[in-house]
Amino acid sequence: MQRILAGAALGFLSGAAAYKAIFRTLESSDEETVVKDYSSFSLAYGLPEFNSDLYHYNNHVVLYDNAKKVPVWVAEHLTLDNLRGTATREQSQFQCDDYVPRLFRSSNDDYWDSGWSRGHMVPAGDNKHSQEAMNDTFYLTNIVPQDIDNNAYFWCKLERYCRSLARRYNFVEIVSGPLWLPLTTNDGRRFVKYDVIGKNDVAVPTHLFKVVVGENDEEIVIGAFVVPNKDIPDDKQPIDYQRPIDVVEKMVGAKMFPRLDRRQTEDLCERDGCKHLDSPEFELSLFQGIIEGAYSLPRLETVWRRVKKSHPWLVEKLKGAYLNKRKQFQQK
């Protein structure tokens, strides 16, 4: 597979061009932007290289953070055609992208026994049309350390809601990624605190974001969501985590959909509700998959307690799968 790699920062610049790119001060106003040029500055042995690299895959693009070993953002284009096909997760596997310099890679070992799941930013389920495109979503450039219950429940349902938009809009474009947001103490101090995992110190985000645009012949809608990277109560809905788009842009440090005229857009949640598409069939399939994928007996019992507490109507339907999985662990 051909991968297109684009240097988005100074690692691919040289000489005066690099100096000019760094030592440039922008003074912005509504009327004009003034650029001050300090390109005469130099160091005898060169300025530090700081690569923020774009990795292009079949149906998504990643801006990768070499320091945190996770994406800054991942962008995808979604239509109904993406959701039709025979591609399956069983033929995919999590793996490093060899195009990422070895010094800046994460590995599967970083995630193993860390207590965090490997969370897709572009979900595999958005690429049923192509096995290769689905496989691409398993590169670790598309993965962040995600709370296992957040991944399995709320985030999964949010992804399903976004897929449903492809049935109501001609196309949907989505940008997703991790965030590290500050805490505020009782005395007013603010600071950012987060875990790292593995020998490569992969950064665990405090939150995840998703910005969604949908377009059809009648309207263009936009919505932005910021979700804590922790288990979310089952009664919460996507609309509960909606944030103004400019607030999310400030958090990410990037302008979203810069060629979109916001004056021509409608609020996604006002137009579409931003509610999970819970159905008995989906809930049964979701929990069946989680039970079958439980990696330990304690994890299985945690899932089963959740079923009994929040989805009691599924107990009889899932009891056989639960007991079978429990027996497998006991026999080990």
Residue 282: pLDDT band (50, 70, 90) is confident
- Is pLDDT above 90 for 18? no
Residue 16: pLDDT band (50, 70, 90) is very low
Residue 35: pLDDT band (50, 70, 90) is low
- Is pLDDT above 60 for 25? no
Closest CA to 34 of 43, 42, 25: 25
| Per-residue model confidence as pLDDT tens digits over 261-279 | 999 999 999 999 999 887 7
**Of 33-37, 206-210, 273-277, which range is least confident?**
33-37
- Is pLDDT above 50 for 245? yes
- Is pLDDT above 60 for 10? no
pTM of the model: 0.83
CB atoms within 10 A of CB 204: 20
Taking residues 4-31, what's their average pLDDT?
Answer: 38
Closest CA to 205 of 52, 71, 8: 71
Q: What is the pLDDT, as a whole number, of residue 53?
A: 79
The DSSP call for residue 1 is -
Q: What is the pLDDT, as a whole number, of residue 137?
A: 98
Please provide residue 30's backbone torsions phi and psi, each rounded to the nearest 5 degrees. -65, -25
Would you mind telling me the total number of residues written for the chain in this entry? 332
Which position among 120, 129, 276, 311 bears the catalytic label?
Answer: 120
Taking residues 104-119, what's their average pLDDT?
Answer: 97
Q: What is the pLDDT, as a whole number, of residue 281?
A: 81
Q: Is 77 a catalytic residue?
A: no
- Is pLDDT above 80 for 38? no
What is the overall mean pLDDT for the chain?
Answer: 88
Q: What is the pLDDT, as a whole number, of residue 279?
A: 78
Residue 52: pLDDT band (50, 70, 90) is low
**Letter for the amino acid at 199?**
K
What six digits make up the tokens of 243? 């944030």
| Per-residue model confidence as pLDDT tens digits over 161-199 | 999 999 999 999 999 999 999 999 999 999 999 999 999
What is the Cα–Cα distance from 141 to 72, expressed in whole angstroms?
A: 10
Q: Between 110 and 290, whose confidence is greater? A: 110
Residue 15: pLDDT band (50, 70, 90) is very low
| Cβ contact 75:175 at 8 Å | yes
What six digits make up the tokens of 53? 């690299």
Residues of the chain above pLDDT 90, percent: 72
- Is pLDDT above 70 for 310? yes
| Per-residue model confidence as pLDDT tens digits over 56-78 | 999 999 999 999 999 999 999 99
